[in-house]
Amino acid sequence: MLSGAGEHCCAGLDLSELSQRSVTEGIAHSRAWHAAFDQVQFGRAAVIAVLQGAVVGGGCELAAAAHIRVAKNSAFFGLPEGQRGLFVGGGGSSRIPQLIGQSRMADMTLTGRVLSADKAQKAGLTKYPVANGEGLEKAFGLERHVASNAPLSDFSVLHALPRVARMSQGDGLFVGSLMAAIAQGDDAAKQRLRAYLDGRAMKAAKEAA
């Protein structure tokens, strides 16, 4: 679970840190963000982000690294880097276009356009809009649902799916077949399938009776 305390979620980095930073230092700093956000996206468990208030700059990049995003009514999303003479360096240039498209991200960065919670949901940046005060409740419900899945099934979604999506269609289909075979061969999957089929068979028998 990823949630900011207070009125706002995350407004990104402290811009005063950039005033004296060299190119080499800038690359190292950006790569440090990449390493941290990769742990969010490719960690051992799904990450659900609960977003309120400002989700701006690096905060928006962090939210994009999560797997599920719950946005309260108060949330607003922006990428003001272009207005500051900067470029998104925390991984957003890779992750955010996959959610909302390259042209929409370019618009936000070039013009400073801010998306409300409603517009962000319509754009695909978030998936679960909730009223203020209901974010954590919604997120915990989603978390319980995700945690009840077979571990290997969740692993395939967290680690295989984003990589398959970047492959050519032929390579993606092949890797998808391998992952599907591995997942269905797992003992946990077999147990769940047996339980499902047994339940369906019992229901059919009752209906026949």
Residues belonging to the active site: 61, 81
- Half-sphere exposure at residue 14, Cβ-oriented, CA atoms within 13 angstroms: 4
CB 58, CB 13: distance < 8 Å: yes
CB atoms within 10 A of CB 122: 13
**The residue type at 75:** A
DSSP assignment string, 75-134: -EEE-GGGGGT----SSHHHHHHHHH-HHHHHHHHHH---EEHHHHHHHTS-SEEE-TT-
Distance separating alpha carbons of residues 75 and 59, to the nearest angstrom: 11
CB 73, CB 132: distance < 8 Å: yes
